[in-house]
């Protein structure tokens, strides 16, 4: 039997978008006015990328997601090429910010290839798990080829360097392989295989180690590496149950770095309080529930794997971002889906929701 699109999923997504617009403006208006003489600068860009993302979402929900099977390897190759190009300064196409090269420049905008990489990885894993079936339990014919391809993508992201996204991709791969039936003993070996890459990252980019120390002992370096997380605590603590009121937060006034991007949840907690954070958590919980429901109700194996991969991708970003803001995880540099300012991630997440909606309109299990 056929069913319609999951409109509840659409409404949840739109609600999160609206909250994002409000918080992006609230958290960035003063900074934008001081730096660009336009308090609406970040909001206007967020609205523009929201429009692009919504168009992408509608396009994704209108296509038959099964066609992605035939396009799996072209999408994967394109993703690999972009991740390689961003690492080659001589080409003059990548943008360096600090020690990192994560952005490719076009005449119109900049974008992060790693965001395409996340979607490409989910599509590839869904395709591989569907094609291999029970062979995924075999080391040489099932597990090894899949983990090799995923591992190369993760390594390219580490070299940018973007350890947060690399860890996200690694965890996502392990979760989907586990759901797909891979032997647990194989998965236990993956952290050991990842150890050399982690060592390479720490030795080449010592700030990663300093971030870990700041996470463990933030109060010992309050004016240095611990500054951001301490200011996040101050924002959350100032909000109390109900918040100080939208627009009335103080931490966004050049105290909390990345207030409108990675740490936007802290500003939301300051201005809307514990209640505001709980509303966001409930909306994300509902979003994840709808995604899991779509996966369980889909008769097509590829669609089921793809749906669970897409919702895991969003869920892991939410968990990691919230964990960082609450001081439960080291700083990773990942945005809060649909709410944080960030064009590429916003478009990618909306396209992911579009694919979920396409799957929701497919045949359901009898």
In a domain, 156, yes or no: yes
pLDDT band at 95 (very low <50, low <70, confident <90, very high): confident
Classify residue 1: in a domain, yes or no: no
pLDDT average, residue stretch 59-68: 94
Are the C-beta atoms of 271 and 249 separated by less than 8 Å?
A: yes
Quick check: is 274 in a domain? yes
Instruction: Give the least confident one: 141-145, 165-169, 193-197, 346-350.
Output: 193-197
H or E, element range at 54: helix 41-62
What is the model's pLDDT at position 1? 39
Phi, psi of 110 (to 5 degrees): -110, 150
Say whether 70 sits in a helix, a strand or coil.
helix
d(CA 362, CA 300): 8
Place of tokens 């076009």: 106
What's the N-to-C CA distance of the chain in angstroms? 8
Say which residue, 225 or 284, is predicted with more confidence: 284
Q: List the structure tokens of 250.
A: 């103080």
| Within-domain flag for 188 | yes
Q: CA-CA distance, 77 to 297, in Å (whole number)?
A: 31
Place of tokens 């105290």: 255
Q: What average pLDDT does range 119-136 have in this prediction?
A: 95
Is residue 217 very low, low, confident or very high in pLDDT (cuts 50, 70, 90)?
A: confident
Per-residue confidence (pLDDT) for residue 3, from 0 to 100: 59
Contact 153, 106 (CB under 8 A): no
C-alpha 243/C-alpha 253 separation (Å) is: 16
> Would you state the pLDDT for residue 363?
66
What total of structural domains would you count in the chain?
A: 1
Mapping DSSP to helix (H, G, I), strand (E, B) and coil, where does residue 102 land? strand
| Residue 93 is assigned to a structural domain of this protein | yes
Any domain includes 234: yes
Q: What is the pLDDT of residues 245-278, one digit of tens each?
A: 999 999 998 888 889 999 999 999 999 999 999 9
pLDDT score recorded for residue 86: 92
| Model confidence, pTM | 0.93
Query: Is residue 242 domain-resident?
Result: yes
Percent of the chain with pLDDT over 90: 68
Mean pLDDT, rounded, of the chain: 90
pLDDT of 7-16, one tens digit each? 999 999 999 9
In 3D, which of 130, 117, 121, 114 has the Cα closest to residue 295? 130
Q: How many other β-carbons are positioned within 10 Å of the β-carbon of residue 21?
A: 16
Percent of the chain whose predicted confidence (pLDDT) is above 70: 95
User: What's the pLDDT score for residue 365?
Assistant: 65
Structure confidence by residue, pLDDT tens digits, 230-245: 999 999 999 999 999 9
pLDDT of residue 107 exceeding 80 = no
81 within a domain of the structure (yes/no): yes
Give the three-class secondary structure for 91. helix
CB-based contacts of 260, cutoff 8 Å, min separation 6: 23, 24, 27, 28, 31, 42, 252, 267, 340, 341
Is residue 362's pLDDT more than 90?
A: no
63 token code pair: 């296509």
Split at pLDDT 50, 70, 90, the class of 99 is low
- Residue 332 lies in domain: 7-360
312, pLDDT greater than 90:
yes
Query: Which pLDDT value is given to residue 2?
Result: 47
Q: Which whole number is the average pLDDT over 314-330?
A: 94
Under the phi-then-psi rule, with left for phi > 0, alpha for psi from -120 to 50, and beta for the rest, what region is 104? beta
């Amino acid at each position: 039997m056929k069913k319609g699109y999951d409109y509840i999923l659409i409404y949840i997504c739109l609600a999160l978008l609206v909250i994002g617009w409000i918080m992006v403006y609230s958290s960035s208006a003063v900074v934008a006015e001081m730096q660009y003489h336009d308090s609406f600068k970040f909001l206007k860009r967020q609205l523009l990328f929201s429009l692009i993302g919504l168009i992408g979402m509608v396009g994704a929900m209108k296509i038959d997601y099964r066609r992605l099977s035939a396009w799996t390897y072209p999408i994967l190759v394109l993703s690999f090429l972009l991740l390689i190009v961003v690492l080659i300064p001589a080409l003059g196409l990548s943008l360096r910010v600090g020690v990192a090269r994560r952005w490719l420049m076009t005449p119109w905008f900049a974008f992060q290839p790693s965001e395409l990489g996340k979607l490409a990885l989910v599509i590839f894993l869904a395709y591989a798990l569907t094609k291999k079936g029970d062979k995924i339990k075999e080391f040489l014919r099932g597990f090894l080829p899949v983990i090799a391809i995923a591992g190369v993508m993760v390594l390219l992201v580490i070299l940018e360097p973007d350890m947060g996204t690399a860890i996200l991709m690694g965890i996502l791969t392990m979760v989907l392989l586990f759901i797909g039936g891979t032997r647990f003993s194989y998965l236990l070996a993956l952290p050991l295989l990842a150890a050399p890459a982690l060592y390479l990252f720490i030795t080449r980019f010592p700030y990663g180690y300093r971030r870990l120390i700041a996470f463990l002992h933030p109060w010992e370096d309050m004016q240095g590496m611990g500054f951001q997380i301490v200011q996040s605590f101050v924002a959350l603590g100032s909000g109390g149950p109900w918040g100080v009121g939208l627009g009335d937060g103080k931490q966004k006034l050049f105290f909390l770095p990345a207030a409108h991007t990675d740490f936007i949840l802290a500003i939301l907690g300051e201005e809307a309080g514990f209640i505001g954070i709980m509303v966001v958590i409930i909306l994300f919980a509902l979003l994840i529930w709808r995604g899991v429901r779509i996966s369980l109700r889909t008769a097509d194996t590829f669609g089921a794997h793809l749906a669970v991969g897409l919702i895991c991708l969003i869920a892991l970003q939410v968990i990691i971002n919230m964990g960082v803001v609450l001081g439960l995880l080291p700083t990773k540099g990942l945005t809060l889906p649909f709410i944080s300012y960030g064009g590429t991630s916003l478009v990618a997440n909306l396209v992911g929701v579009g694919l979920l909606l396409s799957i929701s309109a497919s045949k359901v299990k009898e």
